Structure 1
């Protein structure tokens, strides 16, 4: 079976449905991309590995999380995320989503 098309894009603000935090998508893996040990210890609800997984900057925190698609939904609150690493990934916020930084070539 081939991987699913991601529901969320880089720069999109999402909500973790189980834990209630907001975050912004900084990267998308088409399928689970961490170790079996991580999955066994952290992914207690055993979300599917063959669906997209997302790297998120957590609003109001200083860490990043790795979340299965089934635990995310669009967040209606489009106010900016508060995270110290935003500038590492994004150049600006357009009022709805973050726009990736332009890199020098």
Structure 2
């Protein structure tokens, strides 16, 4: 079994490589841990492999804010330097500086 480090960090703002949304990472799984139903809901032609980190995001697009579960291969760093407008961001994170959020201390592992 090979140990692999996650490419992105908790508090980092990222965007989806294909779909028009961005978000802040609040948790990471070393590999896919969602349901098989969720896995099969991803269109087969863009379904990522399960053996990679998957990130939990407070995500937003032009229409709404939501929680997303995204594979590492489908994320890229967000270069805007702007905070996300997700209403739960202020509940999980203390501050935003230089494109990165800091977790509130009571939430840290």
TM over 0.5: yes
Cα deviation, residue 41, structure 1: 1.3
Aligned to 1:9: 9
**22-31 or 60-69: bigger deviation:** 60-69
Structure 1 unmatched ranges of 5 or more: none
Q: Are 1:59 and 2:31 counterparts? A: no
Supply the distance in 2 between the matched residues of 1:37 and 1:77 (Cα, whole angstroms). Answer: 34
After superposition, the C-alpha distances for 1:66-99 in whole angstroms (9 at most, x for unaligned) are 0011100011101111011002211111232000
| Secondary structure in structure 1 of the residue aligned to 2:65 | coil
- TM-score, normalized by length of structure 1? 0.89
Q: Is residue 98 of structure 2 the alignment partner of residue 95 of structure 1?
A: yes
Q: TM-score, normalised by structure 2?
A: 0.86
Q: Which residue in 1 is equivalent to 2:35?
A: 35
- Structure 2: runs of 5 or more not aligned: none
Structure 1 stretches of 4+ with a deviation exceeding 6 A read none
Query: How far apart, CA to CA, are the structure 2 residues paired with 1:79 and 1:29?
Result: 25
Partner of 2:25: 25
